[in-house]
Chain A
Amino acid sequence: MPLKFRSALRRDCIVRPVDSLFLVFFRPSGQTHLLPVSSYALLELLDENSLSVAEIPEALAARYGTEPETGVEAAVERQLRELEAVGLVEAVDAVRRAGGAA
């Protein structure tokens, strides 16, 4: 079973667009993050559904009405791990182990 990720954008974050970037205040850590559009798109997507790395390119393409890109899993995973490191994204397994709802 591939690892799935989720975010809590609407629950835990306050967002302000600034020019072409997004300022995201993450309540649990009290930190502010300046995110590019691609990272913000991931947060939005994972706020709606828990998805695995393999499912993300297709879900993004469906969301934005584009063709799914191939060979981008490594880039997606890298970005997910960066977001996970600051708490903006969680692995669903980790949430289960901590007793949260997936």
Chain B
Amino acid sequence: MTTRLLSRRGARAMTVRVGPVEYRLETSLPALWRELSALYRDYPRNDPQHCPEYEVSVHPTSWWRRFVRPQINLRADIMGPFAPLPADLGQVAFEMGMNYQVAVGLNRYLILHASSVEREGECVIFSAESGSGKSTLAAGLAWGGWRLLGDEFALIDPRSGLALPFPRPISLKNRSIDVMAERAPADRFSRRYYGAPKGTLGYLLPPSDSIARMNEPARPRCVVFPRFEPGSTPGILRVSKPEAHVLLVGSSTNYQMLGEAGFLAMADLLDACPAYRITYPSLEAAAALVEQIWRHSAEQRQAQQEQAAQKQMERLDG
């Protein structure tokens, strides 16, 4: 691996590509560098053919803060309201900074705050607020035969309508870490980060296949609004297109910014995808519901195609 000295004395940096986005990541903290290198070990790095789009760096807030109550600052091309964090949360800071660059700066795609998984060249988009279980659901499916496209953002190309993979390490919170620890190999997990803004965090490296195939987009087949509710009865409800539109616009970080292109991309997405709401008490129940939706959406599309073909025949006959 190639590293280079940068503006900060002793700092090391790498370029990492995740799907269509290339980052330059820099830190002067050796322990953090080791964590970062381990978490991004499967991703294309330091490719001289690529130019990083976003820079994210994590450094001590001051020289003495390396030693006394260690504290770090997150710096990035697009600066957000980043408060200093305890040095132990350096990896969390990197992930926050990387997310923020995409959420605020990446405007060549329609960005939905959603996870997504692929099979047979098509994908399911799970749109939900933080804490609804969309990352855990995507992680569970990714380790159960589906390909992970992303756990945080779905990137929809307005020109083709395809969902582009953005398979960053999966961010798991609190109990979800234990849930996934039973399903994924131990060597794919980061250590646990206690005292993070959303509780205890852990990162799960996606299956190697999801990373290796991150240049392969998928056609959205259905949209699901998941809700994890302990003790609930598993259930599926159809969501009308107008309601799905309102929910998805609310989940998009750049719908307004994209203007007409965003409107058309969203309208095409909802034309093509039936939407559902699911409530589930466990990952197994959710996986079964997703299978049901997967079949139903295919049947529905086939029925629509047959109906369209029938209409065409009637027009020709008439």
Contact = CB atoms under 8 A, between A and B. Distances in A.
A93 B231 CA distance: 61
A21 B241 CA distance: 9
* Residue of A25, A27, A32, A34 ringed by the most chain B CB atoms within 10 A: A32
Interface stretch (A11-19, A44-52, A57-65, A77-85): A11-19
B260 interface: yes
Contacts of B264: 14, 25
Contact of A27 (B249, B256, B260): B260
B240 interface: yes
Contacts of B246: 34
A54 interface: no
Interface in B115-135: none
A23 B260 CA distance: 12
A23 B244 CA distance: 12
A14 B263 CA distance: 9
Contacts of A21: 242
B241 A18 contact: yes
Given A23-B267, A32-B249, A14 B241 contact: no
A72 to B, nearest CB: 25
A100 interface: no
A30 interface: yes
B270 A30 contact: no
13 contacts: A14-B263, A18-B240, A18-B245, A18-B267, A19-B241, A19-B242, A21-B242, A23-B263, A25-B260, A27-B259, A30-B259, A32-B263, A34-B242
A98 B221 CA distance: 47
Report, as a range, how many residues of chain B touch the other chain: 10 to 19
Contact of B260 (A14, A18, A34): A14
A100 to B, nearest CB: 22
Interface string B243-279: 0011001000000100110011001001100000000
A5 B241 CA distance: 31
Contacts of B271: 16
Nearest to A31: B256
B245 to A, nearest CB: 6
Contacts of A16: 267, 271
A23 B263 CA distance: 9
B25 to A, nearest CB: 34
A30 B245 CA distance: 16
A12 to B, nearest CB: 11
Given A16-B271, A34-B245, A34-B246, 20 more contacts: A14-B260, A14-B263, A16-B267, A18-B241, A18-B242, A18-B270, A19-B240, A19-B241, A19-B242, A21-B242, A23-B245, A23-B267, A25-B263, A25-B264, A27-B259, A30-B256, A30-B259, A32-B249, A32-B263, A34-B242
B260 to A, nearest CB: 6
A14 B264 CA distance: 9
B258 to A, nearest CB: 9
A21 to B, nearest CB: 5
A16 B241 CA distance: 11
Contacts of B241: 18-19
B116 to A, nearest CB: 22
B172 to A, nearest CB: 34
B242 to A, nearest CB: 5
A3 to B, nearest CB: 31
Nearest to B271: A16
Q: Please list the 10 inter-chain residue pairs (A to B) with the smallest Cβ-Cβ separation, ordered nearest first.
A: A25-B263, A18-B241, A16-B267, A21-B242, A30-B259, A18-B242, A19-B241, A19-B240, A34-B242, A32-B263
B254 to A, nearest CB: 12
Contacts of A18: 240-242, 245, 267, 270
